[in-house]
């Protein structure tokens, strides 16, 4: 009767599986496979964010010198909003979380850093402000107008008390409108906008108001969620095929 040489494996099946997973996890890291995936995902997400911002209503208003430019009295609006968007794009980061084996699989993933919740990186930019040319030094907001803060955070707050905007071609810094102190109880311009008396105040038009958690940037980010998940999945699958 033939004899066979046998080996006794001391490790249990779960231990063997765990070692296999650990080896695969090391392969993910040591081969720089996932680092490449995170880099490619980051580039795609940045391009997606930039494109979605360009498609937003607020960007179109500012870049084409729409009505919002007149409301804000904003000079060079396109260059300002372009610089702000690019700041957000450059601050966007996709980093790889540590990859390790766990149970019967490999645990890890990507961490995506996008827009700061307090918007500090853009609100300190010179492009986020508009220096006023008015001689009315008593109006605090007219000295240096924080127009981006108004759009991102201030919601429907009363910002410039006792004044409102009168749209008239060829007037003001923008050539669209000027800030006035209404004398009548109410007035209506040609577009149908009701302008209040001195007991009222100018605020951001309701279709453009924003708060910290709900503004034109957060709206874009929420719309991107499905696309971001797809990009991450595609890059992970691409990386896995290279192992």
Residue 67 included in any domain:
yes
Quote the mean pLDDT of the chain.
79
Q: Note down the domain range covering 66.
A: 14-129+213-241
Mean pLDDT across 158-164: 86
Residues paired with residue 196 on neighbouring β-strands, in sequence order: 186
Mean pLDDT across 149-167: 90
User: Which burial class, exposed, middle or buried, applies to 56 when counting CB atoms under 10 A from its CB (0-12, 13-18, 19+)?
Assistant: middle
Residue 41 included in any domain:
yes
Q: Which of 24, 87, 23, 30 is nearest to 53 (CA)?
A: 87
Residue 208 included in any domain:
no
161: which 2 tokens?
A: 């008390």
Are the C-beta atoms of residues 99 and 107 closer than 8 Å to each other? yes
**Per-position DSSP letters for 35-69, written without gaps between them:** HHHHHHHHHHHHHHHHHHHHHSHHHHHHHTT-HHH
Residue 228 included in any domain:
yes
Q: What pLDDT digit, counting tens, does each position of 102-151 carry?
A: 555 555 567 788 888 889 999 999 999 998 765 555 455 457 889 999 99
Q: What pLDDT digit, counting tens, does each position of 180-219 carry?
A: 887 655 444 444 444 444 467 899 999 999 999 999 999 9
Residue 185 included in any domain:
no
Cα 63 from chain centroid?
A: 17
Residue 232 included in any domain:
yes
DSSP state of 31: T
Structural domain total, the chain = 1
């Amino acid at each position: 009767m033939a004899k066979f040489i046998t080996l006794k494996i001391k490790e249990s099946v779960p231990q063997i599986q765990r070692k296999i997973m650990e080896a695969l996890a090391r392969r993910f890291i040591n081969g720089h496979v996932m680092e490449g995936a995170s880099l490619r995902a980051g580039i795609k997400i940045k391009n997606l964010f930039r494109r979605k911002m360009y498609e937003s209503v607020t960007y179109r208003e500012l870049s084409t010198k729409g009505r919002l430019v007149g409301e804000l009295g904003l000079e060079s609006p396109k260059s300002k909003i372009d610089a702000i968007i690019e700041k957000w794009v450059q601050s966007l980061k996709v980093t790889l979380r540590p990859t390790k084996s766990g149970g019967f699989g490999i645990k890890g993933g990507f961490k995506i850093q996008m827009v700061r919740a307090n918007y500090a990186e853009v609100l300190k930019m010179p492009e986020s402000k508009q220096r006023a040319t008015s001689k009315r030094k008593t109006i605090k907001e007219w000295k240096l107008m924080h127009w981006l803060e108004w759009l991102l955070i201030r919601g429907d707050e009363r910002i410039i008390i006792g004044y409102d905007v009168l749209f008239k071609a060829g007037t003001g810094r923008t050539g669209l409108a000027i800030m006035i102190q209404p004398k009548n109880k109410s007035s209506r311009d040609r577009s149908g906008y009701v302008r209040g008396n001195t007991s009222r105040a100018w605020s951001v038009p309701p279709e453009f108001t924003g708060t910290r958690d709900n503004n034109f940037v957060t709206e874009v980010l929420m719309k991107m969620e499905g696309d971001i998940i797809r990009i991450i999945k595609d890059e992970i699958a691409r990386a896995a095929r290279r192992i």
